[in-house]
Amino acid sequence: MGICGSGVADVLACLLKLGKMDETGLLADDEDQWPLAEGVAFTQMDVRQVQLAKSAVRAGMETLLHEAGLPATDVARLAIAGGFGSYLSLDSAAAIGLLPPELTSRCDVLGNAALSGAAMLLRSLPLQEESCRMADRAVTVNLATNPFFMDQYIQQMMF
């Protein structure tokens, strides 16, 4: 019994909106947990764990934009794949700082993109060739050693 990842974003967005959590992630009123349902509660430790993951994801996004010399406002489309993305409220994701707010209107939720993409590649030689060309142009950005990422990781801790 618990809460799914997309539900976690909703809980945090609600706690922020209701003033039950501040921008640092501290739960209000000296509460160390907020009950969600019988046997399910969201704790201060849960907030901190999500905060670390959220900060890493957003810092990674900001670092890639920085390395590309591209402001978020110039991104035409942000593809979100996987089960988490399929149920994620883009408004909640922006409210907690997981996504840049200016990108929420340009997000496309793709669902199981890995399976769909693999099927497309198996059926199309031109797509296979284009995929190889794209892979050849890809640039690795090592976040573990990137000073911009390190700075962003700290900045993105705030909700």
Residue written as tokens 């978020």?
72
Three-class secondary structure of residue 73 per DSSP: helix
Task: Please enumerate in sequence order all residues whose Cβ is within 8 A of that of 118, keeping only pairs 6 or more positions apart, or say none.
Answer: none
CA 18 to CA 159: how far, in whole Å? 13
User: pLDDT tens for residues 60-86?
Assistant: 999 999 999 999 999 999 999 988 888
- 77, 41, 73, 80: which is closest to 57 by C-alpha? 80
Query: Domain locations in the chain?
Result: 5-155
Residue written as tokens 């496309």?
108
User: pLDDT tens for residues 106-152?
Assistant: 999 998 899 999 999 999 999 999 999 999 999 999 999 999 999 99
